[in-house]
Structure 1
Protein backbone atom coordinates (compact mmCIF):
# COMPACT_ATOMS: atom_id res chain seq x y z
CA UNK A 1 0.00 0.00 0.00
CA UNK A 2 1.28 3.45 -0.90
CA UNK A 3 1.26 6.32 1.58
CA UNK A 4 -0.05 9.75 0.49
CA UNK A 5 2.85 12.13 1.17
CA UNK A 6 1.04 15.21 -0.11
CA UNK A 7 1.70 17.41 -3.11
CA UNK A 8 5.40 16.58 -3.45
CA UNK A 9 7.48 17.21 -6.55
CA UNK A 10 8.92 13.76 -7.21
CA UNK A 11 10.45 13.97 -10.70
CA UNK A 12 14.05 14.34 -9.58
CA UNK A 13 16.96 13.99 -10.19
CA UNK A 14 17.43 16.46 -13.06
CA UNK A 15 20.57 17.77 -14.74
CA UNK A 16 22.19 20.66 -12.93
CA UNK A 17 22.87 23.72 -15.10
CA UNK A 18 24.48 27.10 -14.77
CA UNK A 19 22.21 29.68 -16.38
CA UNK A 20 24.10 32.48 -18.09
CA UNK A 21 22.44 35.83 -18.79
CA UNK A 22 23.53 39.39 -19.40
CA UNK A 23 22.28 41.70 -16.66
CA UNK A 24 22.98 45.42 -17.00
CA UNK A 25 25.66 44.70 -19.59
CA UNK A 26 27.54 42.10 -17.52
CA UNK A 27 27.54 38.32 -17.61
CA UNK A 28 25.76 36.80 -14.63
CA UNK A 29 25.60 33.16 -13.62
CA UNK A 30 23.04 31.23 -11.58
CA UNK A 31 22.94 27.57 -10.58
CA UNK A 32 19.60 25.94 -11.44
CA UNK A 33 18.16 22.50 -10.82
CA UNK A 34 14.56 23.17 -11.87
CA UNK A 35 14.87 22.31 -15.56
CA UNK A 36 12.75 20.30 -17.92
CA UNK A 37 12.07 19.19 -21.47
CA UNK A 38 8.81 20.30 -23.07
CA UNK A 39 9.46 19.26 -26.67
CA UNK A 40 12.28 18.32 -29.00
CA UNK A 41 13.39 21.95 -29.37
CA UNK A 42 11.94 23.48 -26.19
CA UNK A 43 13.18 23.40 -22.63
CA UNK A 44 12.22 25.17 -19.44
CA UNK A 45 14.18 26.61 -16.56
CA UNK A 46 12.29 27.71 -13.47
CA UNK A 47 13.88 30.41 -11.33
CA UNK A 48 12.65 31.97 -8.10
CA UNK A 49 11.19 35.41 -8.87
CA UNK A 50 13.64 37.41 -6.73
CA UNK A 51 16.72 36.15 -8.61
CA UNK A 52 18.82 38.93 -10.10
CA UNK A 53 19.34 36.83 -13.24
CA UNK A 54 15.63 36.99 -14.10
CA UNK A 55 15.94 40.72 -14.78
CA UNK A 56 18.46 40.13 -17.58
CA UNK A 57 16.56 37.17 -19.01
CA UNK A 58 13.37 39.22 -19.25
CA UNK A 59 15.16 42.25 -20.72
CA UNK A 60 17.26 40.39 -23.32
CA UNK A 61 15.00 37.37 -23.96
CA UNK A 62 18.05 35.07 -24.17
CA UNK A 63 20.10 32.87 -21.86
CA UNK A 64 22.45 29.93 -21.89
CA UNK A 65 22.00 26.63 -20.10
CA UNK A 66 25.39 25.10 -19.30
CA UNK A 67 25.56 21.49 -18.11
CA UNK A 68 27.49 21.18 -14.85
CA UNK A 69 30.25 18.59 -14.48
CA UNK A 70 31.92 17.46 -11.29
CA UNK A 71 34.96 19.65 -11.98
CA UNK A 72 32.71 22.72 -12.18
CA UNK A 73 30.90 22.11 -8.87
CA UNK A 74 32.85 24.54 -6.65
CA UNK A 75 32.29 27.52 -8.97
CA UNK A 76 28.76 26.40 -9.88
CA UNK A 77 27.83 26.11 -6.19
CA UNK A 78 29.31 29.54 -5.56
CA UNK A 79 27.18 31.23 -8.25
CA UNK A 80 24.15 29.49 -6.74
CA UNK A 81 24.96 30.78 -3.27
CA UNK A 82 25.68 34.47 -3.89
CA UNK A 83 23.39 37.00 -5.55
CA UNK A 84 24.46 38.98 -8.58
CA UNK A 85 22.68 41.95 -7.00
CA UNK A 86 25.31 41.92 -4.23
CA UNK A 87 28.39 40.50 -5.99
CA UNK A 88 29.66 40.76 -9.54
CA UNK A 89 29.78 37.13 -10.76
CA UNK A 90 30.93 37.97 -14.32
CA UNK A 91 34.50 36.84 -13.60
CA UNK A 92 33.65 33.51 -11.97
CA UNK A 93 33.71 31.69 -15.32
CA UNK A 94 35.44 32.31 -18.61
CA UNK A 95 32.87 32.74 -21.36
CA UNK A 96 32.22 33.63 -24.96
CA UNK A 97 29.18 35.43 -26.29
CA UNK A 98 26.70 33.65 -28.54
CA UNK A 99 24.96 35.04 -31.61
CA UNK A 100 22.06 36.18 -29.44
CA UNK A 101 24.29 37.93 -26.91
CA UNK A 102 23.91 35.24 -24.24
CA UNK A 103 27.10 34.40 -22.31
CA UNK A 104 28.25 30.83 -23.05
CA UNK A 105 30.26 29.18 -20.30
CA UNK A 106 33.63 27.91 -21.59
CA UNK A 107 34.13 25.32 -18.82
CA UNK A 108 30.91 23.45 -19.61
CA UNK A 109 31.33 20.68 -22.17
CA UNK A 110 27.73 21.19 -23.32
CA UNK A 111 25.99 24.54 -23.65
CA UNK A 112 22.60 25.45 -25.08
CA UNK A 113 22.00 28.99 -26.31
CA UNK A 114 18.29 29.67 -25.92
CA UNK A 115 15.72 32.36 -26.64
CA UNK A 116 12.72 33.01 -24.41
CA UNK A 117 9.40 32.22 -26.08
CA UNK A 118 7.17 32.49 -23.00
CA UNK A 119 7.23 33.03 -19.27
CA UNK A 120 4.93 30.98 -17.07
CA UNK A 121 4.49 32.38 -13.57
CA UNK A 122 3.55 30.44 -10.46
CA UNK A 123 3.72 31.40 -6.80
CA UNK A 124 7.28 32.58 -6.27
CA UNK A 125 8.67 31.34 -9.61
CA UNK A 126 9.16 32.45 -13.19
CA UNK A 127 9.46 29.52 -15.56
CA UNK A 128 11.14 30.51 -18.79
CA UNK A 129 9.99 28.50 -21.79
CA UNK A 130 12.96 28.41 -24.15
CA UNK A 131 13.64 27.58 -27.77
CA UNK A 132 17.03 25.94 -28.22
CA UNK A 133 18.79 28.05 -30.86
CA UNK A 134 22.22 26.40 -30.72
CA UNK A 135 23.79 23.52 -28.82
CA UNK A 136 27.56 23.53 -28.47
CA UNK A 137 29.32 20.34 -27.41
CA UNK A 138 32.98 19.47 -27.00
CA UNK A 139 34.08 16.63 -29.28
CA UNK A 140 35.00 14.64 -26.16
CA UNK A 141 31.32 14.28 -25.18
CA UNK A 142 30.08 13.16 -28.61
CA UNK A 143 29.85 9.59 -29.84
CA UNK A 144 30.97 8.42 -33.28
CA UNK A 145 27.58 9.47 -34.72
CA UNK A 146 27.90 13.04 -33.39
CA UNK A 147 25.32 12.54 -30.63
CA UNK A 148 25.84 13.51 -27.00
CA UNK A 149 27.32 10.60 -25.04
CA UNK A 150 26.24 10.93 -21.42
CA UNK A 151 28.80 8.33 -20.35
CA UNK A 152 31.49 10.81 -21.43
CA UNK A 153 29.63 13.99 -20.45
CA UNK A 154 28.89 12.77 -16.91
CA UNK A 155 26.48 15.56 -15.95
CA UNK A 156 25.91 16.30 -12.29
CA UNK A 157 22.29 15.67 -11.31
CA UNK A 158 20.33 17.57 -8.68
CA UNK A 159 18.07 15.61 -6.33
CA UNK A 160 15.41 17.85 -4.79
CA UNK A 161 14.04 16.17 -1.67
CA UNK A 162 17.50 15.79 -0.10
CA UNK A 163 19.24 18.69 -1.93
CA UNK A 164 22.06 16.40 -3.03
CA UNK A 165 24.22 16.21 -6.13
CA UNK A 166 24.30 12.73 -7.69
CA UNK A 167 25.98 10.97 -10.63
CA UNK A 168 24.43 8.98 -13.43
CA UNK A 169 24.53 5.23 -12.93
CA UNK A 170 24.75 2.07 -14.95
CA UNK A 171 22.88 1.48 -18.20
CA UNK A 172 19.86 -0.78 -17.84
CA UNK A 173 19.27 -1.24 -21.57
CA UNK A 174 18.28 0.47 -24.79
CA UNK A 175 15.03 2.46 -24.99
CA UNK A 176 12.00 0.17 -25.47
CA UNK A 177 14.21 -2.94 -25.28
CA UNK A 178 12.22 -4.31 -22.34
CA UNK A 179 8.93 -4.31 -24.27
CA UNK A 180 9.53 -7.85 -25.54
CA UNK A 181 9.72 -9.08 -21.96
CA UNK A 182 6.18 -7.89 -21.20
CA UNK A 183 3.74 -10.78 -20.68
CA UNK A 184 0.13 -10.02 -21.61
Structure 2
Protein backbone atom coordinates (compact mmCIF):
# COMPACT_ATOMS: atom_id res chain seq x y z
CA UNK A 1 0.00 0.00 0.00
CA UNK A 2 1.52 3.29 -1.08
CA UNK A 3 1.58 6.01 1.61
CA UNK A 4 1.34 9.78 1.28
CA UNK A 5 1.94 12.46 3.89
CA UNK A 6 -1.15 14.29 5.13
CA UNK A 7 -1.83 16.96 7.74
CA UNK A 8 -1.94 15.77 11.35
CA UNK A 9 -5.22 13.96 11.96
CA UNK A 10 -6.81 11.06 13.79
CA UNK A 11 -9.45 10.51 11.10
CA UNK A 12 -8.69 6.83 10.66
CA UNK A 13 -7.83 5.91 14.22
CA UNK A 14 -11.04 4.24 15.40
CA UNK A 15 -11.52 4.59 19.13
CA UNK A 16 -13.79 2.92 21.66
CA UNK A 17 -16.30 5.29 23.22
CA UNK A 18 -16.83 5.65 26.93
CA UNK A 19 -19.44 7.62 28.84
CA UNK A 20 -17.68 9.18 31.84
CA UNK A 21 -19.87 9.56 34.90
CA UNK A 22 -19.42 12.03 37.75
CA UNK A 23 -21.69 13.59 40.35
CA UNK A 24 -22.48 17.29 40.55
CA UNK A 25 -22.24 19.05 43.91
CA UNK A 26 -25.99 18.53 44.46
CA UNK A 27 -25.69 14.76 43.85
CA UNK A 28 -27.10 14.85 40.32
CA UNK A 29 -25.26 12.49 37.96
CA UNK A 30 -23.58 13.89 34.88
CA UNK A 31 -22.25 11.97 31.88
CA UNK A 32 -20.05 13.00 28.96
CA UNK A 33 -18.88 11.04 25.91
CA UNK A 34 -15.13 10.62 25.45
CA UNK A 35 -12.85 8.45 23.32
CA UNK A 36 -9.29 9.44 24.32
CA UNK A 37 -9.06 6.45 26.65
CA UNK A 38 -6.38 3.78 26.91
CA UNK A 39 -4.27 1.75 29.32
CA UNK A 40 -0.84 2.15 30.83
CA UNK A 41 1.37 0.28 33.27
CA UNK A 42 2.77 1.65 36.53
CA UNK A 43 3.32 -1.35 38.85
CA UNK A 44 -0.19 -2.42 37.79
CA UNK A 45 -2.61 -1.83 34.93
CA UNK A 46 -4.02 1.68 34.98
CA UNK A 47 -6.16 3.84 32.73
CA UNK A 48 -5.12 7.05 31.05
CA UNK A 49 -7.91 9.35 29.97
CA UNK A 50 -7.47 12.66 28.18
CA UNK A 51 -10.08 15.40 28.16
CA UNK A 52 -9.64 18.40 25.89
CA UNK A 53 -11.14 21.81 26.50
CA UNK A 54 -13.31 23.01 29.35
CA UNK A 55 -15.87 20.41 30.40
CA UNK A 56 -18.06 19.98 33.46
CA UNK A 57 -16.89 16.36 33.61
CA UNK A 58 -13.30 17.56 33.91
CA UNK A 59 -14.30 20.02 36.65
CA UNK A 60 -15.94 17.17 38.61
CA UNK A 61 -12.95 14.87 38.14
CA UNK A 62 -10.74 17.61 39.58
CA UNK A 63 -13.08 18.08 42.53
CA UNK A 64 -13.74 14.44 43.43
CA UNK A 65 -10.76 12.62 41.90
CA UNK A 66 -13.09 9.79 40.80
CA UNK A 67 -15.25 8.92 37.79
CA UNK A 68 -16.78 5.97 35.99
CA UNK A 69 -15.99 4.97 32.40
CA UNK A 70 -18.99 3.15 30.91
CA UNK A 71 -18.38 1.31 27.62
CA UNK A 72 -20.65 2.58 24.83
CA UNK A 73 -22.65 -0.04 22.96
CA UNK A 74 -25.07 -0.09 20.04
CA UNK A 75 -27.96 0.40 22.47
CA UNK A 76 -26.22 3.40 24.06
CA UNK A 77 -25.47 5.27 20.80
CA UNK A 78 -28.37 7.73 21.21
CA UNK A 79 -27.09 8.57 24.71
CA UNK A 80 -23.47 8.79 23.56
CA UNK A 81 -24.59 11.21 20.87
CA UNK A 82 -26.67 13.24 23.33
CA UNK A 83 -24.02 13.35 26.09
CA UNK A 84 -21.34 14.18 23.54
CA UNK A 85 -23.27 17.09 22.05
CA UNK A 86 -24.93 18.53 25.16
CA UNK A 87 -22.62 20.44 27.46
CA UNK A 88 -22.69 19.50 31.12
CA UNK A 89 -23.38 23.14 31.93
CA UNK A 90 -26.81 22.84 30.23
CA UNK A 91 -29.59 23.03 32.82
CA UNK A 92 -31.68 19.87 32.82
CA UNK A 93 -29.16 17.86 30.78
CA UNK A 94 -29.85 14.73 32.82
CA UNK A 95 -33.64 15.05 32.66
CA UNK A 96 -33.77 12.09 30.29
CA UNK A 97 -35.03 8.51 30.72
CA UNK A 98 -31.88 6.52 31.49
CA UNK A 99 -31.26 4.05 34.32
CA UNK A 100 -28.39 5.00 36.60
CA UNK A 101 -26.90 3.03 39.48
CA UNK A 102 -24.23 3.81 42.04
CA UNK A 103 -20.70 2.47 41.79
CA UNK A 104 -19.90 -0.63 43.85
CA UNK A 105 -16.62 0.76 45.24
CA UNK A 106 -16.44 4.48 44.45
CA UNK A 107 -19.02 7.29 44.68
CA UNK A 108 -19.61 7.42 40.92
CA UNK A 109 -22.73 7.05 38.75
CA UNK A 110 -22.95 3.94 36.56
CA UNK A 111 -25.09 3.40 33.46
CA UNK A 112 -27.14 0.26 34.07
CA UNK A 113 -27.17 -0.55 30.33
CA UNK A 114 -23.38 -0.53 29.96
CA UNK A 115 -21.96 -4.07 30.07
CA UNK A 116 -18.43 -3.02 31.11
CA UNK A 117 -17.70 -0.21 33.54
CA UNK A 118 -14.50 1.00 35.16
CA UNK A 119 -14.60 2.76 38.52
CA UNK A 120 -11.55 5.03 38.37
CA UNK A 121 -9.58 7.03 40.92
CA UNK A 122 -7.24 9.73 39.64
CA UNK A 123 -3.68 9.27 40.88
CA UNK A 124 -2.00 11.90 38.75
CA UNK A 125 -2.97 14.50 36.19
CA UNK A 126 -0.81 16.00 33.48
CA UNK A 127 -2.00 19.47 32.41
CA UNK A 128 -1.54 20.19 28.71
CA UNK A 129 -2.11 23.22 26.53
CA UNK A 130 -5.85 22.80 25.92
CA UNK A 131 -6.28 19.41 27.55
CA UNK A 132 -5.35 17.20 30.46
CA UNK A 133 -4.35 13.56 30.89
CA UNK A 134 -5.59 11.70 33.96
CA UNK A 135 -3.65 8.62 35.09
CA UNK A 136 -6.12 6.50 37.03
CA UNK A 137 -6.06 3.51 39.33
CA UNK A 138 -8.72 0.97 38.35
CA UNK A 139 -10.54 0.53 41.64
CA UNK A 140 -13.23 -1.78 40.27
CA UNK A 141 -14.50 -3.30 37.04
CA UNK A 142 -18.21 -4.05 36.77
CA UNK A 143 -18.96 -6.57 34.02
CA UNK A 144 -22.24 -8.05 32.84
CA UNK A 145 -22.42 -11.52 34.37
CA UNK A 146 -22.74 -13.11 30.92
CA UNK A 147 -19.26 -11.84 30.05
CA UNK A 148 -17.68 -13.90 32.81
CA UNK A 149 -18.82 -17.17 31.21
CA UNK A 150 -15.53 -18.70 30.01
CA UNK A 151 -17.54 -21.29 28.04
CA UNK A 152 -18.57 -18.53 25.62
CA UNK A 153 -16.13 -17.69 22.84
CA UNK A 154 -14.70 -14.20 22.47
CA UNK A 155 -16.95 -13.77 19.43
CA UNK A 156 -20.06 -14.72 21.43
CA UNK A 157 -19.11 -12.29 24.19
CA UNK A 158 -18.46 -9.53 21.65
CA UNK A 159 -21.93 -10.16 20.24
CA UNK A 160 -23.40 -9.80 23.74
CA UNK A 161 -21.56 -6.56 24.43
CA UNK A 162 -22.14 -5.02 20.98
CA UNK A 163 -19.50 -2.30 21.48
CA UNK A 164 -19.11 0.57 19.07
CA UNK A 165 -16.15 2.60 17.93
CA UNK A 166 -16.11 6.10 16.54
CA UNK A 167 -13.97 7.79 13.94
CA UNK A 168 -13.86 11.48 13.17
CA UNK A 169 -13.50 10.80 9.44
CA UNK A 170 -15.99 12.83 7.43
CA UNK A 171 -18.70 14.03 9.78
CA UNK A 172 -17.92 11.31 12.30
CA UNK A 173 -19.38 7.82 12.30
CA UNK A 174 -20.08 5.03 14.74
CA UNK A 175 -19.17 1.49 13.75
CA UNK A 176 -20.33 -1.72 15.37
CA UNK A 177 -17.70 -4.18 16.56
CA UNK A 178 -20.37 -6.85 16.74
CA UNK A 179 -18.99 -9.65 14.54
CA UNK A 180 -22.52 -10.68 13.53
CA UNK A 181 -23.93 -7.28 12.52
CA UNK A 182 -20.93 -5.34 11.21
CA UNK A 183 -23.17 -2.30 10.91
CA UNK A 184 -22.24 1.29 10.43
CA UNK A 185 -24.15 3.95 12.34
CA UNK A 186 -24.06 7.44 10.95
CA UNK A 187 -23.66 10.28 13.38
CA UNK A 188 -26.95 12.00 14.24
CA UNK A 189 -28.94 9.25 12.50
CA UNK A 190 -29.47 6.92 15.44
TM-score bin (small chain): 0.7 to 0.9
CA offset at residue 48 of structure 1? 2.1
TM-score by length of 1: 0.81
Q: Say if 1:131 and 1:150 are closer, same or farther in 2 by CA, change over 3 A.
A: farther
* CA deviation vs aligned residue, 1:39-64 (integer Å, no higher than 9, x gap): 36211222223111111111000000
1:129 and 2:135 correspond? yes
Distance 1:147 1:65 in 2: 25
Equivalence for 1:97: 102
Distance 2:152 2:53 in 1: 37
Equivalence for 2:160: 152
1:168 and 2:177 correspond? yes
Aligned partner (choices 34, 37, 62) of residue 35 of structure 1: 37
Equivalence for 2:118: 112
Distance 2:152 2:45 in 1: 18
Question: What are structure 1's unaligned runs of at least 5 residues?
Answer: 171-184
Q: Say if 1:77 and 1:127 are closer, same or farther in 2 by CA, change over 3 A.
A: same
Range with bigger deviation, 142-151 or 39-48:
142-151
Question: What are structure 2's unaligned runs of at least 5 residues?
Answer: 180-190
Judge conservation of contact 2:11–2:167 (CA < 8 Å) in 1: no
Equivalence for 1:72: 76
Q: Say if 1:10 and 1:80 are closer, same or farther in 2 by CA, change over 3 A.
A: closer
Range with bigger deviation, 77-86 or 157-166:
157-166
Equivalence for 2:145: 139
* CA deviation vs aligned residue, 1:105-126 (integer Å, no higher than 9, x gap): 1111111101011112222212
What do you get for the CA RMSD once the two structures are aligned? 2.4
Distance 1:160 1:125 in 2: 18
Q: Say if 1:122 and 1:9 are closer, same or farther in 2 by CA, change over 3 A.
A: farther
Distance 2:131 2:151 in 1: 38
Distance 2:151 2:46 in 1: 23
TM-score by length of 2: 0.79
